[in-house]
Amino acid sequence: MRRVTLNGLLAVSFVALLLLSGCAGNEGGPERIELLARAPERGNWYPQEIVVERGRPVTIVVKNVDIATHSFYLPALGLDTGPLKPGETQEVTFTPEFAGEFLFLCAVWCSDYHMWERGYLRVE
């Protein structure tokens, strides 16, 4: 009986150590957010507002689900995927260091309504 208790205690201690060190699961990895790129007349960015935590790593997975070429450009944080052709996906990973609201937009002329293809990243 004593041996089972000791083994159980060792197993619980090992799991606790893994959790505290960030080795179990994806708890310590970047938050992943999917962002769909579409021209404004076909739905615009989805979502148009992204909310993240200051100091926590983030990966934005930008998917062009449109028939035109797009790009994801967030000038305040120096993020730019470059052109994304229809069907292409690009990931950008960063750690926001300052709270605030930051404009992101498409930097490739994609339609007559291109100037309205914009969204906001809010860092809390």
pLDDT, tens digit, 9 for 90 and up, residues 61-92: 999 999 999 999 999 999 999 999 999 999 99
pLDDT at 100: 97
Residue 64 inside a domain? The answer is yes
Task: Establish if 1 belongs to a structural domain.
Answer: no
Q: Is 61 helix (H, G, I), strand (E, B) or coil?
A: strand
Q: CB-based contacts of 92: which residues, under 8 Å, 6+ apart?
A: 59, 60, 62, 72, 79, 81
Q: Of all residues in the chain, what percent are helix, strand and coil, respectively (each to 5)?
A: 25, 35, 40
3-state secondary structure of 121: strand
Q: Where are the alpha helices (DSSP H) in the chain?
A: 2-21
Q: Considering its fold, how many domains does the chain have in total?
A: 1
pLDDT digits (tens, 9 = 90+) for 21-65: 444 444 668 999 999 999 999 999 999 999 999 999 999 999 999
pLDDT higher at 97 or 25? 97
* CATH code of the domain covering residue 70: 2.60.40.420
Q: Domain residues for 92? A: 29-123
Q: Model pTM?
A: 0.76
